[in-house]
Structure 1
Amino acid sequence: MTMPLPQTEPALVVRSMRIPDPGDLVSLIPADAEAPVSWLREGDGFVGWGTATAIQTQGTARFADAEQWWRGIVRQSVVRAEVDLPGAGLIAVGSFAFAAASDAGGVLHVPAIVIGRRNGVAWVTTTSTAAELPSTPKLQSGEIPQAPKVSEVTHGSLTDAEWTAAVGAAVGRIQSGALDKVVMARDVVIRSETDIDPRYLLRNLSDSYPNTWTYSVDGLIGATPEMLLRRQKGLVTSRVLAGTIRRTGDDEHDLALAASLARSSKDLEEHEYAVRSVADAMSPHCSSMNVPESPFVLHLPNVMHLATDVAGVLHEDVSSLTLAASLHPSAAVCGTPTLAARDLIAELEQMDRGRYAGPVGWLDAAGDGEWGIALRCGELETPSQMRLFAGCGIVAGSEPESELGESDAKLVPMRQALGCGA
C-alpha cells in the first residue's frame, strides 16, 4: 500500500461545503472506496476516500520529508471553504513507522473526498488537481458491510511462551540498572476466508469504543485511546496513558480495581516516565505548560488506564506534524532512556512494528491537527490477512505472566471488531 514519491507537488483545488447532517459517517464510505480513511470520536470527525495526492517517506527523515512536501502542497493549493472548523478545508491524513529502520516508513495522503462533522456542523470537502475541477459526490448510505470469516488466529513473531521469556529478560535488564522502563510489544496474525472489509472494523470500533479515536490510514486500522498531541490555534495538548488494568465487567469490582491502579507503585512509576518524556519534548516549543501532579483513571470498555493531560502554549509557529515528530517516541510506547529502550526492543521483540505505536492522524493547511499513537490496531497485510499488535510497559516490578494478560486485554478491541473473540 505504498505510494511513489512525487517529483513535484501538484496544484490542488479544494472546496468545502456545508451539508445537512448525513448521520453515521462510516456508512457513507462506498463498498468500492479506494484508500478509505477515518478519524472519528463520539460520532464526530471525518471519513474519506480516494487520493488527490500522497507521499511515501522513509528513514530518519520520514517526518521532515513529509512536512516539506506538505508545505509545497499548501503553497500551490486553492481552497474555498464555507466551514471554519478543525478538519474542514485542505487536510492530509498520515501515519508513520515506529522505527526509522522500518520499511513501513511514513505516508501523508490527501483524500479526494472527505465528509466531516463537528459540533453539529457537517461538511463535504472535494479535492482534485487544477486540471480536473472537483465535483460534488452523491452522499448515501451503502450496503451493510459483511463480517469476515476468520479461519485462523496464530501468534506472530513470538509464541506466548517466547514473549513471556522476552519480558522476563527485559525485567532482568531493568533490575541490573541498564534502563528504567521498556515497552514490549507482540503481534497476532488473523486470517480470513473472505476479504476483511475496513468499513466493518470501523463500524464496530466506533460503536464499541466511542471515546477513543477510530482511525484508518493506508491499511492501518484501530481505535486509540491516546492523543499524542492536538494543536489548535497556538495551543498544544497531549493525553498520556501508561499503567493499565483489565476490567471485569462488574462495576463495583472495577471501581475497586481503579482505586488499586491509582495506588499501584509499579503503574505510577511507569506513568511518571511517560508523562516526563512528553513534557520534556513539548517544553522547547512552549512558553508555558501545565503538567498535573497526579494522573486520573481513564475508564474504557475493556481496560482502565492511568492518564494525564499535558497542555502548553506554543511560542513558535511549528506544525502539528513537526510536534508529533518531536514527541515520538514517548516513554509510553518506547521506554526510558529512549535509546537504551529502542535497542532492547530491537533485540527482544524480534519483529518490525511497522506503523504500530507510531503517530497517526491529520493536519490542515495552517499546521493545526490531531495526532494519536497507533495503538489498539491492526495492519491489513493482504485483503484477507491482518496483523494485530499490543504492548505493555515493563519496569523493575513487572511480572511476565501478568504482562501477557495485559497484552491480551489490549488485543480485545481488534479481535472483537473482527468477530474472533474477546
Structure 2
Amino acid sequence: MTTPNVSSPHVTHTVNQAPAPRLYATTTALPPTDGPTHLHNALRDADPRTTLAWIRDGNGLIAHGRATTITTHGHSRFTDANTWWQTITNNATIDNDIQAPGTGLIAFGSFAYSPHSPHGATLIVPEHITGTHNGISWHTTITTTPTTPTPPPPAPPITEPGPATYTPGTLTETTWTDRVTQAIDAITNGHLDKVVLARDEHITTPHPIDPRWLLTQLTNSYPHTWVFAIDGLIGATPEMLIRLHNNTATSRILAGTIRRTGNTTTDTNLASTLTHSPKDLHEHAYAVTSVTDVLQPHCHTLSVPETPFVLDLPNVMHLATDVTGHTNTNINVLELAEQLHPSAAVCGTPRTTADNLINTLEGMDRGRYAGPIGWIDSHGDGEFGIALRCGHLDATHTNMRIFAGCGIVDASDPTAELNESHAKLLPMKNAFTPPQDAHP
C-alpha cells in the first residue's frame, strides 16, 4: 500500500489562563412555562459574540458572557483543564437550591481530536446561563465579585447570513475515495480492523453567520440530537460520548449508517437492511467494545444490550447502542471523556494504528471535529458528546469548515462511503440552503 506521508503539526504543551479567580454562582428558579420558552428567549437575548449552547428535545442550556476561561494544548489538555476546573470549584461560592443537572457553577468545554492540533482545548465559564430540565427552568449568574451582576446590554437582532456557497475542502472527492481504497487495503492486509476517515468542505456566506440563527435552524431540524455551540464550533451531534449524573454513566454509541430516502416504505426496508448488514454490525461492534472496555473498570454494573437499535434521523439511520453503568470510582465526567476519546466510532481499532493511518491518509487537521464537547458542573457531573455534524466558524464568521467521517472496514465500498459522507454533511448544509438545493 502506497500512502502519502502527511504528518500532524507539532504542538508543544501550552496553557493559556489567568490565575484561577474566585467565582460566585447564583441559581434562581424561573416561572413555569409551556415548552422551552425560556430557552428560546435566552437564545434570542444572548450576545452572539459569546453564545454557548447545549440543547436537546426542549431541554438544555443557553449561555453567554465570559466569567473565566482556560485554553490548553498537547497531550495533557484534558488533565490541565480538569486541574484548573477543580481549583475553580474548590474556591467558588455557589448558591443553588434547585440541584437539577446544569444548575450552579458549570463550564462548557471543547477538545481537539488530536493532541497535536493547534486548536487545543478550552473550558469556558459563562456569566449568564438559562437552563431547562424536565419542566424546571432556572437562570444562573456567575461573577468574580459577590455583588449583584450588572444586566447584560440588549443583544442585536438575529440576522441571516445570506446565500451560501459551497467549496471543496482539503481533498477532492476523487482523492478521498482513493484514500478510502488505501485504508481498505491496509485492513485487508491485516494492519488494523477499522479506521474512520473524515473529509471537510467549506461554506461561505456574504454576511456574518450569527450563531443564534444557526442554532435555531439546527434545533428546528434536528430536535432529537444534542445541538451545541462552544467556542465557534456549532453542530447537532447524535452521539453521546459520556453522561455522568449521580454516579450513573451513560453512553450512546453510533456506528453503521445508511442514508434515508424520505419514503416510509423504502426507509423501513433500509432499516432492516442495516440491522442485518454484516459490514455495519461488524463496524458497530468495534465501537461498542472500545467504550465498554473503558467503562468496565469504573463501574460495578454495566448494562450493554446484545443488539443495536436503529436511530432514525432526518437524513440518515444509524445502528445505535445505549450503554449504562453505575460507577464505583471517584471519577468525573471529564476524566471519563479523556479515557474514552478517541473511541472506535471516530478513530478505529486498534486505536494507535488507526490514529496513525488517519494522520497519513486524511491530510488535514480535524481541529475540534470528532473531539469531546459538552459541559461539566461543580460536582464533576455533566455531558460530553462527540463533535459530529458540525462546523467551525473562522474569525470573520463568514466561512465555516464542515466535516463528515465514515467508518472503514474490510467490506467497505469507497463510492458508498463517499455517499455516506454527503449524507452526514447535509445537516449543516441544509441549515443554510433548502434541502432540494443543498445536495453536492
Normalising TM by the smaller chain, what interval?
Answer: over 0.9
Quote how far apart the aligned CAs of 1:134 are. 2.5
Partner of 1:8: 19
Question: Is 2:344 the partner of 1:331?
Answer: yes
Shift in Å at residue 94 of structure 1?
A: 0.4
Q: What's the secondary structure of 1:172's corresponding residue?
A: helix
Q: Please state how far the C-alpha of 1:78 moved relative to its aligned partner.
A: 0.4
Matched residue type, 1:408: H
Verify the 8 A CA contact 1:150 1:190 in the aligned structure 2.
no
- Corresponding residue of 1:342: 355
Match of 1:362 in 2: 375
* Cα displacement (A) at 1:35: 1.4
Distance apart, 1:75 and its partner CA: 0.8
Distance 2:41 2:419 in 1: 34
Runs of 5+ consecutive residues of structure 2 not aligned to the other structure: 1-13
Whether the 8 Å CA contact 2:53–2:230 is kept in 1: the answer is yes
Question: Equivalent residue for 2:386?
Answer: 373
Match of 2:243 among 224, 227, 230: 230
Contact 1:246 1:304 (C-alpha < 8 Å) held by counterparts:
yes
1:264-279 equivalences in 2 (<5 Å): 264-279=277-292
Q: In angstroms, what is the RMSD of aligned CA positions?
A: 1.7
**C-alpha distance in 1, partners of 2:155/2:433?**
23
Structure 2 residue 272 is the aligned partner of structure 1 residue 262: no
Instruction: Indicate the percent of aligned positions where both proteins have the same amino acid.
Output: 49
Q: In structure 2, how many angstroms separate the alpha carbons of the residues matched to 1:81 and 1:387?
A: 39
Match of 1:36 among 51, 60, 73: 51
Q: Specify whether residues 203 and 160 from structure 1 end up closer, same or farther in structure 2 by C-alpha distance, changes over 3 A only.
A: same
Amino acid at match of 2:160: A
Q: Which residue of 1 is the match for residue 196 of structure 2? A: 183
Query: What's 1:412 paired with?
Result: 426
Q: 1:118 aligns with which of 133, 136, 140?
A: 133
Residues 34 and 51 of structure 1 are in contact (CA less than 8 Å); yes or no, is this contact kept in structure 2?
Answer: no
1:152 is displaced (CA, Å) by 2.5
**Residues of 1 paired with 2:236 and 2:245: CA distance?**
22
The structural deviation recorded for 1:31 is: 6.3
How many residues end up aligned between the 2 structures?
Answer: 418
Q: 1:213 aligns with which of 226, 230, 236?
A: 226
TM-score of the two chains, using structure 2 as the length reference: 0.92
Whichever residue aligns with residue 25 of structure 1, its letter is L
Cα drift, residue 146 of structure 1 = 2.7
The separation in 2 between residues aligned to 1:87 and 1:155, in whole angstroms, is 38
1:50 to 49, 57, 65: 65
Please state whether the residue corresponding to 2:356 is helix, strand or coil: helix
Amino acid at match of 1:152: T
Tell me the equivalent position of 1:311: 324
d(CA) in 1 for partners of 2:206, 2:81: 37
User: How far off is 1:142 after superposition?
Assistant: 6.9
User: Any conservation in 2 of the 1:147–1:418 contact (CA below 8 Å)?
Assistant: no
Give 1:395's match in structure 2, choosing from 406, 409, 416.
Answer: 409
Once the 2 structures are TM-superposed, how far is the Cα of residue 26 of structure 1 from its aligned partner? Answer: 4.1
**Aligned with 2:333 (options 320, 338, 348):** 320
Q: Is the 8 A contact 1:28 1:141 kept in 2?
A: no
Q: Deviations over 1:182-228 (max 9, x none)?
A: 00000001111110111111001111101000000000000000000
User: Match for residue 172 of structure 2?
Assistant: 159
How high is the TM-score relative to the length of structure 1? 0.96
Q: Distance in 2 between matches of 1:260 and 1:11?
A: 56
* Partners of 2:263 and 2:48 in 1: CA distance: 41
Given the superposition, is the C-alpha separation of residues 34 and 417 from structure 1 closer, same or farther in structure 2, using an over 3 Å criterion? same
2:265: which partner in 1? 252
Contact 1:27 1:141 in 2 (8 A): no
Alignment check: 8 A CA contact 2:48 2:211 kept: no
Tell whether the 8 Å contact from 2:112 to 2:369 is kept in structure 1 after alignment: yes
- Once residues 252 and 321 of structure 1 are traced to their aligned partners in structure 2, the CA distance between those partners, rounded to angstroms, is 42
- In 2 relative to 1, CA 270–234 (structure 1 residues): closer, same or farther, beyond 3 Å? same
CA distance in 2: counterparts of 1:275 and 1:152, whole angstroms: 37
Cα offset for 1:149?
2.0
- Residues 154 and 196 (structure 1), Cα distance of their counterparts in 2 relative to 1, 3 Å cut: same
Name the SS of the counterpart of 2:404 in structure 1. strand
Deviates more, 1:151-160 or 1:402-411: 151-160
Deviation at 1:28, TM superposition (A): 2.5
C-alpha distance in 2 between matches for 1:94 and 1:249: 35
